[in-house]
Amino acid sequence: MSKTFHVIYDGKVLRPEGPVDLEPNTHYVVTIERKELSETHDLWNVLGSLTGKVEGHEDWSQEHDHYLYGTPKRQKDN
């Protein structure tokens, strides 16, 4: 049987945040998983955590093949 409880560690003992249905003075095996406090997990926060910014040349978006693969630069239309 497996149960999940939320607890707070006060520096000495783990204290349940709510009532627990356990037998007193009985040994249990406990698995600890840290709960990270974060912003709400809406789609924009999740996507924002996965993105980054790439610094590149001014014409990076037009000449990406040149910078990635060494192909000749495209001629600009005047």
Residue 15 lies inside a defined structural domain of this protein: yes
pLDDT tens-place string over residues 5-24: 889 999 999 999 999 989 99
Residue 57 lies inside a defined structural domain of this protein: no
Residue 52 lies inside a defined structural domain of this protein: no
Q: Is 78 helix (H, G, I), strand (E, B) or coil?
A: coil
Total-model pTM: 0.39
Residue 11 lies inside a defined structural domain of this protein: yes
| Range of the structural domain that residue 18 is part of | 1-36
Structure tokens at 32: 């600890």
Looking at the DSSP assignment, which residues form a beta bridge with residue 8?
Answer: 15
Single-letter amino acid code for the residue at 52:
G
Residue 24 lies inside a defined structural domain of this protein: yes
Residue 8 lies inside a defined structural domain of this protein: yes
Q: Are 63 and 73 in contact (CB under 8 A)?
A: yes
Residue 71 lies inside a defined structural domain of this protein: no
Q: What is the total count of domains within the chain?
A: 1
pLDDT tens-place string over residues 36-72: 766 567 788 778 878 877 788 889 889 989 989 999 9
